[in-house]
Amino acid sequence: MTSISKPILLSPPHFSDEELKYVKQAFGQEWIAGRGENLDELEGALSNFLGIDHVVALNSGTAAIHLALVLLGIKRGDVVLCSTFTFAASANPIVYQGAEPVFIDSESETWNMDPELLVKAIDELIKIGKKPKAIIFVHVYGMPGKIEEVANICNHFQIPLIEDAAEALGATRKGKKVGTFGDLGVYSFNDNKIITTSGGGALVSNNGDWIERARFLASQSRDRTNYYQHSAIGYNYVMSNIAASIGRGQMEVLQDRIEKRREIFAYYKERLGQIEGVKFLEELPGVYCNRWLTTLLIDREITSVSAETLRFELEQVSIESRLLWNPMHRQPIYQEKQYFDNGISDHLFSSGLCLPSGSNMGAADLERVTDAVLKVLDQVTRS
């Protein structure tokens, strides 16, 4: 008996009953666009949750990274260091500013930027008179990287630190939320992130002047005059009040969503973690990962199955999975750029896979995915 199975997606949106309530409220108040109560409430909820004073909600995470660079005065010819193992949106805003991205490889314990390689890059660049003007450090898949070490390095060299925590909302290191260690932190509420506003992001900082400036730049840099006057180039980056209404509802269930994703990880690890040649990404002591996506590494020598074969076979049974990030130094748009290499991100890309991790997955979905993985890896399911 064959039937077309319902697709299981990688990380679809998961709403509660609250979002529509706030959206309706926004309609009632005729605050569809522009600043409204829900935007204030969302920023307040984020500030509370993150334990940081200043938050501006924007229309994407990419916009937040771009504004961070604008605030830091990054301009044509400046060098900005960036994690290579990430999504392209981490690096593209460097190029929007006409600056030069230089990519840094990962360490193997968290898959994020390697502090040792970072020091080496800074030293070498300073030697040739190209001291980096900023660092964009990414926490991939919700796993906190070695951010304290990196913050110390940035302090030592007096280089501003931007944390791209787009995938890591709610993840912590020693109880402190990632995204709040650097000078500026970035979050995304895109539709496949841990919570969504349909599309959106936020920029956070302990520096209130910066966030106030970001608010000004994000709303076309309109001066406080009775007519239209602009003393700076502006951007249209403000989050709409409708998107914020969705976000306000999502904030109420954020911790539940994180806990559910952590349960999904635990389930996968329980059922697949014993297979020889399959490895999961573990938390270091003192680290709390939001498990945005459960990822695994497959040793092809041992399993005779590549990550791409597994992805393809899962697709045949309507299960969406995804290879790990294709590092920036391998991208056609960036392959000419300078890159500090230790081989780790290349290895991750060639051997890793993200499994479906949406917080709305049920027990049957999880069983279906693990059974399918076991079947491809030719393992007998014992019951």
Ligand X SMILES: *Cc1c(COP(=O)(O)O)cnc(C)c1O
> Cβ closer to ligand X: 145 or 377?
145
Task: Give the H/E segment covering residue 156.
Answer: helix 147-157
Tell me if 135 sits within 8 A of 114, measured CB to CB: no
Cα dist from 355 to 255, 265, 277, 290, 317, whole Å: 21, 9, 16, 15, 14
Task: Give the H/E segment covering residue 279.
Answer: strand 278-280
- In angstroms, the CA 23 to CA 145 distance is 36
Beta carbons within 10 angstroms of residue 274's beta carbon? 9
Q: Write down the least CB distance from residue 99 to ligand X, Å.
A: 17
Beta carbons within 10 angstroms of residue 21's beta carbon? 13
Helices (H), 51-140: 61-71, 92-96, 115-127
Helix (H, G, I), strand (E, B) or coil at 374: helix
Nearest to 200 by CA among 297, 64, 366, 68: 64
Q: Write down the least CB distance from residue 62 to ligand X, Å.
A: 3
Q: Which residues have a Cβ under 8 Å from the Cβ of 117 and sit 6 or more positions away?
A: 104, 105, 107, 340, 342
Q: Write down the least CB distance from residue 91 to ligand X, Å.
A: 9
Packing angle, helices 147-157 and 115-127, rounded to 10: 20
> Cβ closer to ligand X: 62 or 295?
62
Q: Write down the least CB distance from residue 247 to ligand X, Å.
A: 12
Residue 339, strand partner residues = 103
Encoded tokens for 196? 């969504």
Helix (H, G, I), strand (E, B) or coil at 356: coil
Packing angle, helices 61-71 and 208-218, rounded to 10: 120
Judged on CB neighbours under 10 Å (0-12, 13-18, 19+), 372 is: buried
Interface residue list for ligand X (CB under 6 A):
60-62, 86-87, 89-90, 138, 164, 166-167, 188, 190, 201
